[in-house]
Structure 1
Amino acid sequence: MEKNKYKLIGDYHTHTIYSRNGHGKGTIRENVEEAIKKGLEEIYITDHGPGHFLFGIKRKKLPEIRRTIDALNEEYNGKIKIYLGVEANVVDYNGKYDLRNEDLKYFDVVNLGYHSGVVLKNLKSYFIYHILNSLGRFNKKLEKYCIEKNTDAIIKIIEEKDITIITHPGDKVKVDIKRLAKVCKENNTLLEINNHHPHLSVDEIKEAIPSGVNFSLGSDAHKPEKVGIVDQAIKRVEKAGLDINRIKNLKEVK
């Protein structure tokens, strides 16, 4: 990757101390100031959804976080735009996530992904996620079944809810990238190329390209100094031959 060949417009996946138990290391202000330092125009604050029993955001903190971001948007008006988001979790193979309707008034954007450490809503979902997906590594037929179920669940949420970005698709459990990409295209949902995790991989990006879906880059920063760092993601973009114009938060420097 040539230095300064690209400009990251915004970082659409960052965590703060509101991702509990030390999972996120910095304050919202620290992430924002790091983003300004690196010349970003936008930043999403996307702490883990409340369904993650270790790292999930506490619902009672949402008003406080909203006030903090509103105040910082006033303070840094003209320098950067700050969005309150969340990295919601799939919690049910019937197509449910860990947000309530009353939560949504606080968020500007909703990202969605699969995560271990999430409290699944029923025994069937627990069995598919934890047991069958693990066993599927040793049985192709079972793996195919799991991929179908994993994909069905996340697609149902996309079709029923307003989802901005699917985070690191294929990272925690395998999904049908081609089918997921098609549905994301139809619903104006972005597929993330995550810098912290190896997904989307080069091969997965290539699988998604024919659908016409658009993409985003995310640092998945858990420390302020990692905000805006997407060099590994860009390497995968280049290897896959993805048109930069299809990445919503990246532009080529002329």
Structure 2
Amino acid sequence: MIKLIGDYHTHTIYSSGFRKEGKHAIGTIRDNAEAALAKGLSEIAITEHGPGHYLYGVRKKRIPLMKSEIDRLNEEFIPKGLKILLGIESNLVGLDGTLDVDEKLLKYIDFLIMGYHYGATPKTLKDGIGLYVLNPISKIFHIGKEKAKELNTRAYIKALGKYPINMISHPGSKAVVDIVELAREANKYGTALEISAKHSQLSVESIKLLLDMDVIYMVNSDAHRPEDVGNVENGIRKAKEANLPLDRIKNIEIN
């Protein structure tokens, strides 16, 4: 029997950017926590999109408010067996590995995710071309794909050396990477690779490439609705299909 210990990638109405709450993700922190508790989880991380995304990034000024809210909720939920963590799914915004978080924000964060999403504000024009122009062009027109992979992989690796990253979300989705090279470097920093129940990556093929490597894995829902919290069956399916020993997934127990 497989038991999910914690879901470390969930979103709430705070992932709203400059738009009205609920346009990207629905449900409150309490809603997600109650869903996690009902499914027997011990931990849940609330990981809103980084503030560099204008459409659905959390506003910087709201992060201290979220921290206070989570502290209050933990007084209620920890005695019931669930701990709530404040996380953030930061955006890669620079070819030099810059993320859209700074030291001021990091002091509030319990769980830092590094991800890549179209629509984040790049650090410079050069970064915008390298990260947000080349990638979609290489996918649509099949030109410059190897160059995009090289730039993406190098940027991810540089970020690992700059920030205390706990996990890389859906590595390879949206921005293609050399997954073997990235996994090798992530392991040096104790950073997990996510097997996403929502996104295509890590794919079965990617996991198979890593079977002989000492990789830390986590499987998460990437829930944007409370009812999806803890729903990781698709991620588990991919792991099984790739013949990955399930005891290598950090946030599950096998009974």
Query: What band does the TM-score fall into relative to the shorter chain?
Result: over 0.9
Hey, what does 1:37 align to over in structure 2?
A: 38
Q: CA deviation at 1:134?
A: 2.9
Hey, what does 2:191 align to over in structure 1?
A: 189
Hey, what does 1:71 align to over in structure 2?
A: 72
Hey, what does 2:235 align to over in structure 1?
A: 233
1:34-113 correspondence to structure 2 within 5 Å: 34-78=35-79, 79-113=81-115
Hey, what does 1:165 align to over in structure 2?
A: 167
Q: 1:63 to 1:135 in 2, by over 3 A?
A: closer
Hey, what does 1:27 align to over in structure 2?
A: 28
Alpha-carbon contact 2:94-2:131 (below 8 Å) kept = no
Which residue of 118, 123, 132 maps to 1:116? 118
| TM superposition score normalised by structure 2 | 0.94
Percent of aligned pairs with the same residue? 44
Hey, what does 2:8 align to over in structure 1?
A: 12
Whole-Å separation in 2 of the counterparts to 1:235 and 1:97: 31
Whole-Å separation in 1 of the counterparts to 2:29 and 2:48: 10
Aligned positions, number: 248
Q: Deviations over 1:89-130 (max 9, x none)?
A: 000111100001111111111001100110111111111223
Whole-Å separation in 2 of the counterparts to 1:95 and 1:77: 36
Whole-Å separation in 2 of the counterparts to 1:51 and 1:29: 25
Unaligned runs of 5+ in 2: none
Which amino acid counterpart does residue 176 of structure 2 have in structure 1? Answer: K
Q: Deviations over 1:16-67 (max 9, x none)?
A: 0100132110000000000000000110100001001110111111111001
Alpha-carbon contact 2:93-2:131 (below 8 Å) kept = no
SS of alignment partner, residue 40 of structure 1? coil
Which amino acid counterpart does residue 27 of structure 1 have in structure 2? Answer: T
Structure 1 moving runs of 4+ over 3 Å:
137-140
Alpha-carbon contact 1:185-1:211 (below 8 Å) kept = no
Unaligned runs of 5+ in 1: none
SS of alignment partner, residue 93 of structure 2? strand
Which amino acid counterpart does residue 129 of structure 1 have in structure 2? Answer: L
| TM superposition score normalised by structure 1 | 0.95
Hey, what does 2:182 align to over in structure 1?
A: 180
Whole-Å separation in 2 of the counterparts to 1:80 and 1:174: 35
Which amino acid counterpart does residue 196 of structure 1 have in structure 2? Answer: K
Whole-Å separation in 2 of the counterparts to 1:131 and 1:69: 37
Q: Please report the RMSD computed on the Cα atoms of aligned residues, expressed in angstroms.
A: 1.1
Which residue of 155, 158, 183 maps to 2:157? 155
SS of alignment partner, residue 212 of structure 1? coil
SS of alignment partner, residue 48 of structure 2? strand
Alpha-carbon contact 2:167-2:191 (below 8 Å) kept = yes
Which amino acid counterpart does residue 171 of structure 2 have in structure 1? Answer: P
Alpha-carbon contact 2:218-2:249 (below 8 Å) kept = yes
SS of alignment partner, residue 206 of structure 2? helix
